[in-house]
Amino acid sequence: MSDTAELFIDSRCELGEGVFWHPLQERLFWFDILNKTLFSATAGGIMIDRFTFDTPVTAAGVIDADNLAIASAAGIYKLELSTDTRELIAPLEADKPGNRSNDGRVGPSGGFWIGTMALHDPGHTASGSLYQVRGGEVTTILSGIHIPNATCFSPDGRTAYFTDGVTRVIRKVAIDRDTGLPVGPWQDFAKVEPPGEPDGAVADAEGYIWNAVWNAGSVVRYAPDGSIDRVVKVPVSRPTCPAFGGPDLKTLYITSAREGLTPEQLAAEPLAGGVFAINVDVPGLPENLFKV
């Protein structure tokens, strides 16, 4: 089986992120955070829609066939895809105009775990937090975060994963399946060696965790015990987020970034900012539906 992902769409995102497969629309969605845009495409790589916003948008949860929950700097919005109308569901950090949202994913309880971070100099500013938004209620899970990433959940819905990227440590915690909130202490799960930093992550049907490694040009599959099971290479240095999609959920899609690369690096990485794909033998999990 191939261990190198190939270009799926040459989207040239400045900061591609938050990729997910919409099971009811049967298409792929992903964001360009810095260009405030949400894209979508078919499994065959044909672009369908793009939605633009006034603030950075970073992650989403599926509500139903025609509605998404969109995480932005201002809060969680409901986006109706067919009409491109937006409605605020829950404000986030109205008192922190220097912050924006980042990585997020909907858990098995229907709660949207979403992290925030400083818009500028996030590697040195720990102004972010990790929240759960569920049923109109916003609950703080963690605070003092630099760069929230790797949010994902085990197939049985009893374990959540998360990282503050600058620590280079992915952590895990037991969660309550009904409330979606932690019920035990956080534990170290896996450590990423420099110069790599853990970015977005997703779980497959066997409970293995796939993590995009920023600055390392790879996506690493971790076994439930935290050991490395497989490494998929990506032909760019800054992969950002993986997601499973396609009709059988056996295609691993990977977004990437151009942000921060020098002109020389961009010349050497002409596909930076693209979306990549590779077929895998173990399927992913359908996206959990967000509980408005």
Residue range 95-108: average pLDDT?
95
How confident is the model over 135-173, as pLDDT tens digits? 999 999 999 999 999 999 999 999 999 999 999 999 999
pLDDT band of 95, cuts 50, 70, 90: confident
Q: For residue 149, say whether it is annotated as part of any ligand binding site.
A: yes
Sheet holding 239-245, edge to edge: 6-9, 275-279, 251-256, 239-245
Domain ranges of the chain: 6-279
The CA distance from 74 to 92, in Å, is 6
The confidence score (pLDDT) of residue 2 equals: 64
Global pTM value: 0.97
d(CA 245, CA 22): 8
- What pLDDT is attached to residue 74? 86
99 is in an annotated binding site: no
The pLDDT tens digits for 180-232 are 999 999 999 999 999 999 999 999 999 999 999 999 999 999 999 999 999 99
12 is in an annotated binding site: no
Question: Do 265 and 276 touch, CB atoms closer than 8 A?
Answer: no
230 is an annotated ligand-binding site residue: no
Per the annotation, does 3 bind a ligand? Answer: no
The reported pLDDT for the residue numbered 144 is: 97
65 CB burial (10 A radius; 0-12, 13-18, 19+)? exposed
- Residue 215 CB burial class (10 angstroms; 0-12, 13-18, ≥19): middle
Encoded amino acid at 164, one letter: D
Fold observed for domain 6-279 = Neuraminidase (2.120.10)
pLDDT digits over 31-73, tens only? 999 999 999 999 999 999 999 999 999 999 999 999 999 999 8
Point out the residues that are catalytic.
Answer: 199
